[in-house]
Amino acid sequence: MPSFDPSQSRVLALDRARHARILGAPGSGKTSVLIEVAVGEIRAATDAADRAGEGGFSLDRELLVLTADRRAAGRLRSGIEDRLGRPIESTPARTFTAFAFGLLAKDAASRGAPAPRLLTGTAHDEAISATIEDPAISASAEVRELIGVDAVQSPAFRAELRELARIVDDFGWDSEALSQRIVDAARASAGERVSRAPDAALASRWIAALRLLVPVERRLAVEHPGERSASGLLSAAARAVRESGVEFRAPKIVLVDDAQDLGEGQLALLAALADRGARIWVFGDPDIATAAFHGESTEVLSDLAGALRRAGARAEAAPEPQTVVLELVHRQTAPLRAFVAGLSGRIGAAGVGAQRAAIAATDTAASDGAEAGDGRIAFARASTTAEQIGAVAHRLRRRRLGLDGIAAVPWDRMAVLCRSRGEATRAARALAGLQVPTDVGAGGIVPGEHRIVRELLRLLQHALGISDLRPAEILDIAGGTIGGLDPVALRRLRAGLSLHERRRARADDRPPEAIEGLVAEAFAFPGDQPLIDSRGGRVLRRIGLIAAAGRGVAESGGTARETLWAIWERTRLSERWQEDALTGRGIVADEANRSLDAVLGLFFSLQRHEEQASSQPVAELIEALLDRAVPEDSLARRSERSTVTVTTPQGAVGREFDVVCVLGPQDGAWPNLRSRGAMLGTAALERWLRGGPAEPPSRRETLHDELRLFLQACSRARTELLVLGVSDDEQHPSPFFGFGAAHEVPTPPSSRLTLRGSVAQMRRRLEDDPADAVALASLAALADAEVPGARPDDWYGVLPPSTDAPLVDLGGDPDAVVRVSPSQLEQSEQCPLDWVVSRLAGPDGGASSGLGTLLHHAMETAETPDVDALMDAVLAEWDRLPFESQWQSEQGRRTARAMATGLADYLAQFTRSDRELIDSEARFEARIDRALLVGSADRIEQTTRTDGGVEWSVVDLKTGRFRPSAADLAEHAQLQAYQLGVIMGAFAHETDAVPAGLPGNGGARLLFVHPKAVRAGTTFTEAGQEPLDADAQRAFRERVRAAAGVMAGDRFTARVEHHCSDPHRPGSCAIHIVPAVSHS
């Protein structure tokens, strides 16, 4: 039997026929005592039943244990069963929502009505979004005047409207009735000098927002009939308990754990149970209330009787309770307890504060093996976020390995606590990258945050015929989780498809199709063989087969979940991820577990949609899953493995860890003193409904709420607490960090305590000193253990080239020629390495180059110098451009419009001139020894001389933002190539405009239309190159010969100083000058 200290024993001796409140500091054993009280009640009821010869009893009529969190309820149930030494048939420990749901389900069954269903937060959010997106509602005069159209469309407004809906449900109102109460209160207080009622402006804002909730409630009634929010379930259950007709017998005693976080709906349910004879015992500490952040009150711990009466309990059902304050803290050593108590003393007492005097029960473990002088409490500053995460990873792994003479700590006995869910998610991913296994326990799953979920949902939409996949999306999947192609492989795929299509087009004597059409063809008709025999081609075929498997199930009548299963099964990711999760290490195992959890959550969402027979169409459900921004909790089982918990203070309620790292006490972030609920005044409304003044929380109250969260985080530590802030030019630790000034230490080391980290360290040592015997021996041992990166065969730059054959064998093949295009000539001169990488990897398919292609096509097909016509030609293919976001697309449209304007102005000027257009996209070929100069000119324009002869000048359209200098223009390779083509008659076969002889060379021009490349006050700028004389022609022929020699070679030089390292014009060569990991 466990032993209890004197104050805990006083709790066990309390009168079970009276209400009670048990106050205790963090770690004082409140939950342990609660479990013992529950066990005593169960044993007493069992003994009474045995003495009466009944052979059994109803546990639900004897005892009810309530808590706000499902995981906490599971821990309570396990604790009770462990203490009893046997399993129990019923469930004494439940969440408030689960108890309310079961009560309403019994009531519905007794009346022959359908059981209630829980309305998810996601469904509620979707109904709110759909309502405020209705122009007839969001742009109404009332909303426009009191709230503002722009504000209504903001995410912050939707969040406040969700909060308003919670308040309405918590207090058991409906929107219309609450609006009337506000009107009546404002009218009654008119003319009073001092009043708790809202002023006219605030009341009008409340009423306008409540009227917005009315269509939300109607929409939910249609789309989710019979479903209630969690707050709505609590209010309905409280009403059902009070109705005499309901067949319900309240338990004799109700034990509430972590009562500091009770909400108004939960309090109303407790008041109803008290009215039916239940004795309410509350356990908690108001100093660590985390729900106060949402405007909840902690008065139940300071004035239990008053809180119950305010929530509707009769006076005789809510007498003054018994009170016990726990005096000893069993979780922490003396230094940690003293620090936590110091934080508690800075918080407003809220009517209770005696629990702060608790002292550590024992100091036997204090500072065993601790770092000198810090009592296992450390506050440290990092210079960057990366250093902060590295220091956390180092400390956690150090404790896991049991270094410093301290017993090894399992991963699941350590935690990292962050201020917000987003910060927790980022920290978890960063730690996983440093081979620390993590699990995010903060607020459920947002499906859209996982790429695999987004890809599966788009394939599901395609299979169900909801929305076909576009070529750009197919390529995105090919380069994503399912396809697995990296950017270089994607570029090779595009280049391979382009080459394949050019060959087909040449054979069929037709112009080549766009790459997008080939992607769509390979996806829609996967066939027995890929369209092109390459890794990328095989991936395209596999994605097509995956989609076909899903479509086959859908067309045969399968449900959305069955269709998704066919898609998922065909990806064959399940087997690989399961293997990685079970046998992998570090980030590989972590990402596999996280991805499997996300996919499982997706299947659970579809299963629930089917089982609840929701009237919501599947198409809307999938769209909602893709757009979801609200985390959704799931009953789907998560992977079971030892991991570091990364969560928020709210996610750590009721839990303790040996080692706790707290991140984020930064200025402006923690404490976050921004006014909450200011747009609609929700905090003021909740305070007013409780009987207080209609005022928002003061800055001091908000600061204390934030400090409660910080205290909650720090108090989770049993033996060690590390608080890390970031201090640089832009970020500074907040005053909360200053509370640990006495414990501040230098930044902990951030080196990796992993096998890979050891490999990197040994390689760095060898780089500095090749004769380092210790490093050599360590690296050899690591290589024998097959640690990645240890064996020299795997090192950067150590493997021999795969081939030393030249690209073109000019020496061995007398007929071989090197094709040299004008643009590649210049690129090979600037940096041979950049040229060869671009040629072998394929062209960059970015949005900028795509926009240039569309402008060139618009100029080629233009019949009149009309801006709108040019833009129509550009926008016809706009969706094919791979913009990463909507704002980039809009910016691209503005740039395209400016360039189309410049192009139209040039064409208008040309129309007014005496020049004549000879050809567009005119191709030429000119043989110069072993080089074949090939290319195409955007425009060839002809001018008639005074002697009757003609001259051709070539115009090259440039859509980039850089304009060459006059010196560079004189040597511009592309313009010289075009001029040489005219001089050699290489263009003559393209046209019969010149009946006899060769035209004269009129030089060449660059036409700039990008707004950042043109001269001020103009829409286009021309830069001309004078006609080549004989010396210039000979010099350019030598350039072509030299370039052909470079392009045919087997070795390519990197122009590191003048090109590869230029940050303003990065090339494909940059990746090849990155030094090895061991480079010092």
Share of residues in the chain with pLDDT > 70 (%): 87
Q: What is the mean pLDDT of residues 1017-1033?
A: 93
Q: Is the pLDDT of residue 293 over 60?
A: no
Q: Using 50, 70 and 90 to split pLDDT, how confident is the model at 141?
A: low
Residue 497 pLDDT = 84
Instruction: Reply yes or no on whether the pLDDT at 368 is more than 50.
Output: no
Highest mean pLDDT out of 15-29, 50-64, 161-175: 15-29
- Residues facing 279 on adjacent strands: 253
With a cut of 70, say whether residue 1065 has pLDDT above it: no
Q: Per the structure block, which two tokens stand in for 91?
A: 């469930």
Among 279-288, 356-365, 440-449, 525-534, the range with the most confident prediction by mean pLDDT is 279-288
**Nearest C-alpha neighbor of 453 from the set 471, 477, 475, 427:** 477
- Cα separation, 103 vs 319, whole angstroms: 26
Q: Which sign does the torsion angle of CA 1054, 1056, 1059, 1065 carry? A: positive
Name which residue leads in pLDDT, 19 or 293.
Answer: 19
pLDDT score for 722: 95
pLDDT, mean of residues 15-40: 92
Least confident of 438-442, 597-601, 935-939: 438-442
**For residue 969, is pLDDT > 60?**
yes
Let me know if the fold of 6-117+232-329 is the same as that of 367-445+641-743. Answer: yes
Task: Kindly tell me if the per-residue pLDDT of 717 is higher than 80.
Answer: yes
Residue 221 has what pLDDT?
Answer: 84
Phi, psi for 922 (deg, rounded to 5): -80, 125
Q: How many CA within 13 A on the CB side of residue 507?
A: 6
What is the β-pairing status of strands 1000-1008 and 950-958? parallel
Distance, in Å, from the CA atom of 56 to the CA atom of 49, rounded to the nearest integer, reads: 6
Report d(CA 471, CA 200) in Å as an integer. 56
Strands ordered across the beta sheet of 253-256: 93-95, 63-67, 253-256, 279-284, 20-23, 322-325
- CB neighbours of residue 680 within 10 Å: 25
Fill in the DSSP letter of residue 597: H
**If we measure between CA atoms, which residue out of 953, 964, 870, 965 comes closest to residue 914?**
953
Between 460 and 506, the higher pLDDT residue: 460
For residue 555, is pLDDT > 50? Answer: yes
Better-predicted residue by pLDDT, 681 or 449: 681
What pLDDT is recorded for position 176?
85
Which tops the pLDDT comparison, 682 or 54?
A: 682
pLDDT of residue 932: 92
Among the residue ranges 178-187, 669-678, 682-691, the one predicted with the least confidence is: 669-678
Q: What pLDDT shows up at residue 660? A: 95
**Tens digits of residue pLDDT in 892-916:** 999 999 999 999 999 999 999 989 9
Mean pLDDT, all residues of the chain: 83
**pLDDT score recorded for residue 900:** 94
* pLDDT of 263: 86
What is the helix (H) or strand (E) element at residue 568, kind and residue range? helix 560-571
Domain parsing of the chain, residue ranges: 6-117+232-329, 120-223, 367-445+641-743, 447-627, 755-794, 844-913
Confidence band for 413, pLDDT divided at 50, 70 and 90: very high
What distance in Å separates the CA atoms of residue 55 and residue 38, rounded to the nearest whole number?
20
pLDDT of 55 strictly over 50: yes
Residues 6+ apart with CB under 8 A from 45: 57, 59, 62, 63
Residue 989 identity: H
Residue 973 vs residue 803, higher pLDDT: 973
Task: Report d(CA 995, CA 948) in Å as an integer.
Answer: 13
The pLDDT value given to residue 191: 58
CB 217 within 8 A of CB 175: yes
- Helix, strand, or coil here: 137? helix
What's the confidence (pLDDT) of residue 295?
40
Helix axes 535-555, 471-478, angle to 10 degrees: 110
Q: What pLDDT was estimated at residue 158?
A: 79
pLDDT > 50? residue 144: yes
Percent of the chain with pLDDT over 90: 25
Q: What is the reported pLDDT for 369?
A: 39
Q: At 606, is the secondary structure helix, strand, or coil?
A: helix
Structure confidence by residue, pLDDT tens digits, 312-350: 888 877 788 999 999 999 988 888 999 999 998 888 766
pLDDT at residue 363 in the model: 55
Residues 6+ apart with CB under 8 A from 712: 26, 288, 290, 649, 650, 652, 653
CB 934 within 8 A of CB 820: yes
Q: How confident is the model at residue 374 (pLDDT cuts 50, 70, 90)?
A: very low
| Residues 935, 921: Cα–Cα separation, whole Å | 9
User: Three-class SS of residue 985?
Assistant: coil
Cα separation of 771 and 455, whole Å? Answer: 51
Highest mean pLDDT among 335-344, 422-431, 555-564, 605-614: 335-344
Closest CA to 281 of 66, 9, 43, 61: 66
Cα end-to-end span (Å), the chain:
60
> Class of 367-445+641-743 per CATH?
alpha beta
* CA 884 to each of CA 116, 402, 464, 561, 881: distance values in angstroms, whole numbers, following the listed order: 43, 46, 26, 30, 9
For Cα atoms 750, 754, 755, give the angle at the middle one, nearest 5 degrees: 140
- Bridge-based pairing of strands 117-118 and 227-228 is parallel
pLDDT at 886 over 80: no
Pairing of strands 657-663, 414-417: parallel
**pLDDT per residue as tens digits for the range 89-107:** 777 888 998 898 888 888 8
Average pLDDT value for residue range 454-459: 90
Report the amino acid identity of residue 728: D
**How wide is the angle at C-alpha 535 spanned by C-alphas 533 and 538, nearest 5°?**
65
pTM of the model: 0.65
Digit-coded pLDDT (tens) for 635-661: 444 555 688 999 999 888 889 999 999
Helix (H) or strand (E) holding 187: helix 175-188
Looking at residue 292, what is its pLDDT?
57
**Rounded mean pLDDT of 395-400?**
90
**Residue 3 confidence (pLDDT) above 90:** no
Level-2 CATH architecture, domain 6-117+232-329: 3-Layer(aba) Sandwich (3.40)
**DSSP secondary structure of 226-277:** TEE-HHHHHHHHHHHHH-TTS-----SEEEESSGGG--HHHHHHHHHHHHTT
What is the identity of the amino acid at 945?
Answer: R
Sheet holding 657-663, edge to edge: 377-382, 717-726, 657-663, 414-417, 644-647, 438-440
Residue environment code for 1033-1050, b if the CB has 16+ CB neighbours within 10 A, otherwise e? beebbebbeebbebbbbe
Give the pLDDT band (50/70/90) at residue 247: low
Predicted confidence (pLDDT) per residue in 145-195, tens digit: 666 666 676 777 778 888 888 888 888 888 888 888 888 887 777 656 556
pLDDT (mean) for 773-778:
88
So what's the pLDDT on residue 395? 92
- Decide: helix, strand or coil at residue 212: helix
Instruction: State the DSSP H helix or E strand holding residue 30, giving kind and residue range, or none if neither.
Output: helix 30-51
Identify which has the larger pLDDT, 194 or 243: 243
